[in-house]
Chain A
Amino acid sequence: MTEIQVPVVRNILQANERLAAENRRRFDEAGIFVVNLMSSPGAGKTSLLEKTIEALTGRMGIAVIEGDLQSSYDAERIRKKGVQAVQINTDGGCHLDGNMIQIALESLDLSKVDLLIIENVGNLVCPAEFNLGEHEKIMILSIAEGDDKPIKYPLMFQICSVVLVNKIDLLPYTDCDLGKIRERVRQLNARGKIMEISCRTGEGFAPWLSWVEEKVGEHRKLRAGKHQ
């Protein structure tokens, strides 16, 4: 027996990174803008999707991948809005990964899709570590969760390009301080856009919808450029 030490130097998540890169290539070839939507359970991910789909249907092709531990409840909610939705059940798994997305893509017809939204499992910790091949990571923080969340889950707030602060219609009934949320997010992530919305009343949706349309437009242009 010989005891030896072998230098390895490999990223532990390299297998996932490879799959995410493959997904990304596929999205780019098709000119689809892809968003990885994250939040804690109950912050309003599915409600945001419903409202966004209602507003943008007819202006672009939309598809949704729904990630949940169990049930196809959310995918059914989305299908009612008239768009393609495929459900991934992680059976207890706390996040989506590149491989799950690859499998879900087999059930989607991407030919007329401009915007693909991947709704991750409700969790502010684990999904932050796993790239799916998306172009942008965005998150929802709801007022009822409190203004301390950026301090407690810094990685999630640091990596997202948009932080949607949802349920602002509840502000009068809580001690949540919007100013503190803005300040705490800015300290972590100066590039991150903060948008205050209410999925219930529709307040604040205009900037969010224009952001989505602008991004979809950029990716459409890339697609048009490729097919010239």
Chain B
Amino acid sequence: MHELSIAESLLRIIVDESKKHGLERISKIKLQIGKFTAVIPDSLNFCFEMVSEGTVAAGARIEIETVGVTAKCDKCDSSFEVEDRVFLCPRCGEPALELLSGRELSILSIEGETGEEDDGNSSSCCS
């Protein structure tokens, strides 16, 4: 259940970013999570719901973009997708020592409402 620690860290960053950008309510959080992390999306959702209660992010929807596992072969330099946890190069059979992707655990963006009236000032819009 380390998803609880991850949810707490996530909330801290979101509260911090909300203040920075003047957001009063967060509606959506986009995350990027690698397939080679030990994170279960449902558990993370559940834990986040729990820790965000009564905060600016209460009720926010978490959207997860998953990233596949890729590795690079030391011998022939080719990159390949790791299937079934076998880190052997499909071209030359050598073990790949470098993991290129799969361990991501990042926030990509947050979406929410500012307290200001919509007066056409677009300085805060980044999408």
The chain A residues found within 8 Å of chain B, CB to CB, are 1-16, 93-95, 97, 125-126, 128-130, 151, 154-156, 158, 186-191
Contacts and interface: CB of A to CB of B under 8 A. Distances in A.
B106 A9 contact: yes
Given A11-B106, A126-B2, A187-B85, A1 B125 contact: no
A191 B74 CA distance: 12
B77 interface: no
B34 to A, nearest CB: 10
B38 to A, nearest CB: 5
A3 B27 contact: yes
**Secondary structure call for the B interface:** mixed
Given A93-B5, A97-B5, A7 B108 contact: yes
A2 B125 CA distance: 9
B107 A155 contact: no
B38 A4 contact: no
A186 B95 contact: yes
Contacts of A187: 85-88, 95
A15 B112 CA distance: 24
Contacts of B115: 1
B116 A2 contact: yes
A32 B28 CA distance: 44
A155 B99 contact: no
Contacts of B12: 15
Given A2-B113, A5-B125, A6-B112, 7 more contacts: A3-B27, A4-B23, A5-B127, A6-B109, A7-B108, A12-B9, A187-B85
Nearest to B40: A125
Contact of A13 (B6, B28, B125, B127): B6
B42 interface: no
B60 interface: no
Interface of B: 1-2, 5-6, 9-10, 12-13, 17, 21, 23, 27-28, 31, 36-39, 85-88, 95-97, 99, 105-118, 124-127
Contact of B124 (A4, A8, A12): A4
B9 A15 contact: yes
Interface centre among A12, A126, A128, A188 (most CB of B within 10 A): A12
A6 B114 CA distance: 11
A154 B85 contact: yes
A95 B6 CA distance: 12
Nearest to B17: A8
11 contacts: A2-B114, A3-B27, A3-B112, A4-B113, A6-B111, A12-B9, A128-B38, A129-B38, A129-B105, A130-B5, A151-B85
